[in-house]
Amino acid sequence: MSLIFFIEKMDAQQNSSTNKKGNPVIEIKNLYKSFGELKVLNGFNLQLFEGENLVLMGKSGSGKSVMIKCLIGLIEPDSGSIEILGKDISKLNQKEMDELKAEIGFLFQGSALYDSMTVRENLEFPMRRHQNKIDIKNADALVMEALESVGLAKAIDLMPEELSGGMQRRIALARALILKPKIIFYDEPTTGLDPITAKEIILLMENIQEKYKTSSLIITHDVDCARVVSNRMILLLNGVDYVEGTFEELQASKDPKVQAFFK
């Protein structure tokens, strides 16, 4: 994955049409969440369309992480509705919610690999939980396929502590992919990585979207990452106000609050 290839991908992305919208796979309407007096989300709306890469940028404390945790049920919103793949998550029971989670991959900021398990066990873990979706007899083949897609097949029997930060992130990406999800959430996918490894991760995200046709919601502070992977962007200013557009549209904005993200 050379730098030239990276730049070519970047240009291709910039030239691609951003107006192709399929069916919404995620729809958030009027989402409110407060912690005591602090209003974090105040009537937030969002739509993520099929096959789309939506980048969500915002400064720290603007409610990005709270929003994504509301989406996967780690935090309960005060009010508002969240529909994922046409299902209102507030109306799902635990079993239905668990089944829905099989359709969602999540790349955590710190990779969040289970450090008492090998790479193989880390990847097998979600499969064991969703045996109705995945045939566990094919576990080895699926693990190898996921590892090959991130270029780390040789790391299969290593422990997370034996891997570098970049390798851990790639394994975490393989784990997010193992159930072949329809949606992937990326929480700061390039944070804490050196620029070269960050570019490798960005390219992987691109390749994954092309190969698996996933819809992705990407939280990032990395402008380069946003430029390459985004079809559409939302800049969250403070959980209440936000602006939406393509990377180019937002970059060209005269609004100083928007411009601050690109400087």
The residue ranges that bind another protein (CB under 8 A) are 69, 72-74, 98-99, 101-102, 104, 106, 108-110, 112-116, 125-126, 129-130
The DSSP output letter for 87 is E
Three-state DSSP at 222 gives coil
**Pick 39 or 129: Cβ nearer another protein:** 129
Q: How far is the CB of 256 from another protein (least distance, A)?
A: 33
**Pick 16 or 116: Cβ nearer another protein:** 116
- CA 113 to CA 59: how far, in whole Å? 26
- CA 109 to CA 221: how far, in whole Å? 12
Q: How far is the CB of 101 from another protein (least distance, A)?
A: 4
**Pick 178 or 229: Cβ nearer another protein:** 178
Closest CA to 124 of 103, 143, 111: 143
Structural Rg of the chain based on CA atoms: 18
Q: How far is the CB of 105 from another protein (least distance, A)?
A: 9
Residues in CB range of 139: below 8 A, 6 or more apart:
124, 127
Q: Which residue has the tokens 């602006």?
A: 243
**Pick 162 or 210: Cβ nearer another protein:** 162
Q: How far is the CB of 97 from another protein (least distance, A)?
A: 8
Helices in the chain by DSSP H: which ranges?
Answer: 3-15, 64-71, 94-101, 119-129, 139-149, 165-177, 195-212, 223-229, 247-251, 256-262
- CA 258 to CA 242: how far, in whole Å? 9
Q: How far is the CB of 82 from another protein (least distance, A)?
A: 15
**Pick 29 or 129: Cβ nearer another protein:** 129
**Pick 134 or 226: Cβ nearer another protein:** 134
Q: How far is the CB of 187 from another protein (least distance, A)?
A: 9
- CA 151 to CA 204: how far, in whole Å? 9
